[in-house]
Amino acid sequence: MQSANPVLTRLDETRRAERQALGAADTMTVADVVSRTVGLLLVTAATAAVSWAYVPQAVWIPAALAGSSLASLALLLFISLRRITNPPLIIGYAVLQGLLLGVASRAFELVYPGIVVQAVIGTFGVFLGMALLYRARLIRATPRMARLVAGTLLGILVLGLVNLIAYLFTGRQGVVVYSLTGRVGWLPYVFSVVAIIAGAFSFILDFDLVERSARAGMAHRYAWYCAFGLLVGLIFLYWQILRLLSYLRR
């Protein structure tokens, strides 16, 4: 059963293709994934704090925001499609995302004071809550859940991309509202809530995949790749929660 996370979805395929004898020291563990995920989160948070404090307001949108988002997207696609396990590249992605998160979050914070703390608490609250539910086996990863979550996330990504293209060419905002002020219809609310729910349940599938990969003796270097996938999921969830909170506070 595959993960719904687009980064981790081909990890099962990689494990089967690599079938080789590895010693215990050469295989990854769940603890390896946890430590690397925490490390990547610290790098992202530190970079976000620096960009929040030192990137001038005048270059938020035209330079830092656009440049870091394009660079991080390119790096995300490169790492995901080639299943890169190189720590410097993965750390580089965390740095770029930190820059993007810092400047964008500061823009939200100026309009809605306190919203960033709320979004951070909400993001980690959802993540830890799903981890506890998975640990207690109250929610289990099933093929049906994987199909449902994967299909929902794919639909969200496609609709989001179409919405962005339409906004760039027509200025109209549909399922996603990019402006920080102004009225918001019911559709963006529904879109954000569905995205948050799908993002939350994708963690159940990610946890299951990481556990199965560790039990199956996945090569140690893939701990970095798994951590990268979890980081991508957390950042996606943060954006959705931040956007929904901005809608609620208008």
Higher pLDDT, 149 or 57: 149
Query: Confidence band (pLDDT; 50, 70, 90) for 127?
Result: very high
Q: What is the pLDDT of residue 21?
A: 46
Supply the DSSP symbol for 18.
T
Mean pLDDT, rounded, of the chain:
81
Query: Confidence band (pLDDT; 50, 70, 90) for 103?
Result: confident
Q: What is the pLDDT of residue 68?
A: 47
Q: What is the pLDDT of residue 221?
A: 84
Q: What is the pLDDT of residue 173?
A: 79
Q: What is the pLDDT of residue 5?
A: 58
How big is the chain, counted in residues?
Answer: 250
What's the pTM?
Answer: 0.84
Q: Tell me the mean pLDDT in the region 177-200.
A: 89
107, pLDDT greater than 50: yes
Domain edges within the chain? 27-248
Provide, rounded to the nearest whole percent, the portion of the chain with pLDDT above 90.
Answer: 32
Least confident of 79-93, 95-109, 208-222: 79-93
Side chain identity at residue 30, one-letter code: V
User: Which CA distances in Å does 32 have to 27, 29, 46, 207, 218?
Assistant: 10, 5, 21, 13, 12
**Cβ–Cβ under 8 Å, residues 71 and 20:** no
186, pLDDT greater than 60: yes
DSSP 123-181: HHHHHHHHHHHHHTTSS---HHHHHHHHHHHHHHHHHHHHHHHHHHHH----SS--SSS
CA-CA-CA-CA dihedral for 141, 217, 87, 7, to nearest 10: -30
54, pLDDT greater than 80: yes
Q: What is the pLDDT of residue 4?
A: 54
Within a 13 Å sphere around the CA of 44, how many CA atoms are in the beta-carbon half?
23
**Mind listing the pLDDT tens digit for each residue in 219-241?**
888 888 889 889 988 998 998 99
Least confident of 46-50, 78-82, 192-196: 78-82
Report d(CA 218, CA 85) in Å as an integer: 12
Q: What is the pLDDT of residue 218?
A: 83
User: Which CA distances in Å does 200 have to 54, 152, 174, 240?
Assistant: 32, 12, 23, 11
Q: Tell me the mean pLDDT in the region 73-82.
A: 59
Least confident of 4-8, 43-47, 236-240: 4-8
Q: What is the pLDDT of residue 36?
A: 94
What lies within 8 Å, CB to CB, of 247 at 6+ separation is 177, 184, 188, 189, 192
φ, ψ for residue 27 (rounded to 5)? Answer: -105, 150
Q: For residue 204, give both structure tokens.
A: 């159940």
Query: Confidence band (pLDDT; 50, 70, 90) for 62?
Result: very low
